Structure 1
């Protein structure tokens, strides 16, 4: 195909996070003859690297795994990465000259909110600029954005948001119709057929006749796994016996293992680490628990809905929208006490979840993979 649009996409790495999974799903479902895509990573690492289509050109600033410790032997490499990336961010013309070889892009695309400045400060003034917002910016891992900071996102030509909650936040800050028209809600691409197929694979889970609660996600404080373990201990002490499975890895993994040991719950909590196919665990579990402190639009809940799991979810951004105001699952207060009350209800009165199951069996997703990908393609094509 002649005159392919040239697109630069930026993201930190291809680690096992929700935004990274969504991006690779999007890329895998693009027609390979339509666009010329360069994917620029700050760090060439992550579990999703092998899934990037071969026709996507992958560039990077550094190689190797993410350094999450401050061991003396790691400090020089960590310092070099920070200084090098900081230099290229401060002087973007160096990046575009030496890494990107002065290539002229039609579209520059920040795949997560953290690359706002890198794209807006691009020396390519003629390129159209898109950003994909996956989180509630009021509550992010390292920084809570103010109104003024969020308004800077209106420098983009299109702002893709993944939930009604985030959309309304941006719309409330928009000063003109032109700014309002930049905001587009896009459901995350989710391959339900692939989820259902992968869930059928066998998995070795010890079954001892106890209810199993599953939670899946990158092991960051955001996900609230520490709250989940404390609630688990409290329920065990009350004689409400059950098991916990947590699938995921991240910089807080060792702290979570330490907490499990301190609470004396090693025999009833299994930390599975990262798995590229968590869906058999969904299938084996009795309940799915979202214990997050905040989210943007927790895609994992759609995976739980696809597999018709009994759901308990803290009230964070996107949950009411996804669970139809509590029609498809139990929404609890966003606190340790809320998680405790929800899990206790599940253990004491599991029959209360039969109504959710009935609705889940008849529920049709409000989107499909093809529509989500086509929506983003339309935005790219029209810019």
Structure 2
């Protein structure tokens, strides 16, 4: 029996984001007999902790929930976490000697782009290094071309969409750098989505006579929920009755909630917060709306396609691929005006969306779980 490959994977936490879900799904589908995996979290927190297989060792720098507020009583704890994490980043030898007990790894894996420096500054010079890029970094604050080029220090750069692949190919300075880029669609479990969608909706009443637009995601400025609410208000003022349902939590939750009240749309827009199973809500809503300012490959659209929803999506990275250049859903300009025109069309000309529904009926998703897992494991095995 050949020796198991020793792999260290790093991510911030296992909270409710697309990258976290994708990592958990991938790990659940890995063969136990081939790898020995340590998963190092900055914060032992999040709904996907329970999904990590028992044979994978979870190590963490801090424990407890993420502190998203600046309440006086939270500041010392928040500051202590930051200082501890920064000091281990600055002195990686301490981390590897103490926390990781001097273990040697064959592969070190940054599961998100934010872990770039932690992995590249590893004291283990002989390990192979991989990064998994889930965002279009050209749209992410703080990522100049110079910053993005630093990712070429990895042995492999896994990207999740054509747009991100093109960004890296255009920045590559030679053939060797180009060879490092590998495009792999996110592993997602369609069976799980379909099964979970059959469950009962709780805490929300769908009204058959009022069209409902659902949007699901981490509440960050990136997701454009502020734009969605502004458009919602504008359409209501024009006499176009509809409802908005936002599912998710995140750093911007209180800001978006406040905006909802300021716009006086509390009666028609609902923020449900985080739910373990958003799929019954997807299923019962009339339209899925993606209002993002930027994405990598919006996992949530895969879920909407699986559940055959009528989709409206801003033109961000991954959308053209997922919606077959507009065959499977309405792709709108990435602006508040674009969101307004798309939602207005849905309300005034719902019949135009029947064409998408017809196409989705027999559509077989090309990015499936088995293919993605096999492609990622082949990257691990070849290193």
Equivalent-residue separation in structure 2 for 1:144 and 1:18 (angstroms): 21
Within 5 A, what are the aligned runs for 1:10-159? 10-140=10-140, 143-159=141-157
| Partner of residue 308, structure 1 | 308
Within 5 A, what are the aligned runs for 1:214-293? 214-293=214-293
How far 1:71 sits from its partner (Å)? 1.7
Equivalent-residue separation in structure 1 for 2:241 and 2:359 (angstroms): 28
How far 1:2 sits from its partner (Å)? 4.6
Equivalent-residue separation in structure 1 for 2:118 and 2:261 (angstroms): 42
Equivalent-residue separation in structure 2 for 1:273 and 1:207 (angstroms): 17
Q: Tell me, what secondary structure is at the counterpart of 1:138?
A: helix
| Partner of residue 178, structure 2 | 180
Equivalent-residue separation in structure 2 for 1:67 and 1:133 (angstroms): 25
Q: Tell me, what secondary structure is at the counterpart of 1:8?
A: strand
How far 1:242 sits from its partner (Å)? 0.6
| Partner of residue 195, structure 1 | 193
Equivalent-residue separation in structure 2 for 1:23 and 1:195 (angstroms): 16
| Partner of residue 350, structure 1 | 350
Within 5 A, what are the aligned runs for 1:152-167? 152-167=150-165
Please tell me whether the aligned partners of residues 206 and 285 of structure 2 are also in contact (alpha carbons under 8 angstroms).
no
Please tell me whether the aligned partners of residues 188 and 368 of structure 2 are also in contact (alpha carbons under 8 angstroms).
yes
- Higher mean alpha-carbon deviation, 5-14 vs 315-324, is at 315-324
- Higher mean alpha-carbon deviation, 102-111 vs 203-212, is at 203-212
Equivalent-residue separation in structure 1 for 2:31 and 2:172 (angstroms): 34
What are the ranges of 5 or more consecutive residues in structure 2 without an aligned counterpart?
none
Q: Tell me, what secondary structure is at the counterpart of 2:73?
A: helix
Please tell me whether the aligned partners of residues 8 and 38 of structure 1 are also in contact (alpha carbons under 8 angstroms).
yes
Equivalent-residue separation in structure 2 for 1:367 and 1:50 (angstroms): 25
How far 1:87 sits from its partner (Å)? 0.7
Equivalent-residue separation in structure 1 for 2:76 and 2:236 (angstroms): 45
Structure 1 residues 82-120: Cα deviation after superposition (integer angstroms, max 9, x where no partner): 111111111111100000000000000000000111111
| Partner of residue 205, structure 2 | 206
Q: Which runs of 4+ in 1 moved over 6 A?
A: none
How far 1:367 sits from its partner (Å)? 2.2
If the length of structure 2 is used for normalisation, what is the TM-score? 0.98
Equivalent-residue separation in structure 2 for 1:163 and 1:178 (angstroms): 20
Please tell me whether the aligned partners of residues 138 and 144 of structure 1 are also in contact (alpha carbons under 8 angstroms).
no
How far 1:144 sits from its partner (Å)? 3.3
Please tell me whether the aligned partners of residues 213 and 288 of structure 1 are also in contact (alpha carbons under 8 angstroms).
yes
What are the ranges of 5 or more consecutive residues in structure 1 without an aligned counterpart?
none
How far 1:344 sits from its partner (Å)? 0.2
Please tell me whether the aligned partners of residues 41 and 59 of structure 2 are also in contact (alpha carbons under 8 angstroms).
yes
Equivalent-residue separation in structure 2 for 1:200 and 1:67 (angstroms): 34
1:323 aligns with 2:327: no
| Residues paired across the two proteins, number | 381
Q: Tell me, what secondary structure is at the counterpart of 2:47?
A: coil
